[in-house]
Chain A
Amino acid sequence: EAGVAQSPRYKIIEKRQSVAFWCNPISGHATLYWYQQILGQGPKLLIQFQNNGVVDDSQLPKDRFSAERLKGVDSTLKIQPAKLEDSAVYLCASSRAREKLFFGSGTQLSVL
């Protein structure tokens, strides 16, 4: 079974630029999550989708972050404009409803 695919693996941008991350979940997984992991900390949930609907986005900084999952499969997470404190690893995970999560390897973002 193929795992959760994420791209790019690394991204370096300057502050105030925009950036987008892409995630392809495991086939058949209706639930998709985006997490932010700052160095030395545990992952923090940003947003959770059930199919193409948002279940929880309470921790998403909506003034600069946006996410979509238009067809209930792939998802993109965007930051515009980026700040220095957005430097982190962005992890995507997927699951069947109410089951264990499978994580991708993440995108490491450096904002200079």
Chain B
Amino acid sequence: DAKTTQPPSMDCAEGRAANLPCNHSTISGNEYVYWYRQIHSQGPQYIIHGLKNNETNEMASLIITEDRKSSTLILPHATLRDTAVYYCIVRVAQSNTGKLIFGQGTTLQVKP
């Protein structure tokens, strides 16, 4: 599985969009980009995933560059409850193992 690089921390003002970047320059053609987040004292929570095209769901949007070497998770209107560690993971979704390999993630602090 390819490795990812994320900034260790970011701040965002409440109500503004939070844009979390992720570099995955060694991603393979069959690897998806997954985002999970972990709120304090809880287990990680799935947010969104994508292969090539941009994706949007009720939680966030995922923008993947055309060369697939980087992506951005967008929380359109951040709230205090979005304060968490955000993990960007690349994974072969159709593999038999399907395991997630977590890095250090980005700690997002949403401020009033």
Contact = CB atoms under 8 A, between A and B. Distances in A.
Contacts of B100: 33, 43, 45, 101
B45 A103 contact: yes
B97 A56 contact: yes
Given A42-B87, A48-B97, A98-B94, A105 B42 contact: yes
Contacts of A50: 96
A4 interface: yes
A106 B40 CA distance: 12
B43 A104 contact: yes
Contact of A55 (B36, B96, B102): B96
Interface string B73-110: 00000000000010100000111111111111100000
Contacts of B96: 50, 55
A79 B58 CA distance: 40
Contacts of A56: 97, 99
A60 B99 CA distance: 14
Interface residues of B, number: 24
Given A4-B43, A102-B46, A105-B41, A45 B99 contact: yes
B43 A97 contact: no
A42 B107 CA distance: 11
A64 B46 CA distance: 31
B68 interface: no
27 contacts: A31-B98, A33-B99, A35-B102, A41-B104, A42-B102, A42-B103, A42-B104, A42-B105, A44-B102, A45-B100, A50-B96, A55-B96, A56-B97, A91-B43, A93-B43, A93-B44, A97-B98, A98-B94, A98-B95, A98-B98, A99-B98, A101-B44, A101-B46, A101-B100, A103-B43, A105-B42, A106-B42
Interface of A: 4, 31, 33, 35, 41-45, 48, 50, 55-56, 91, 93, 95, 97-106
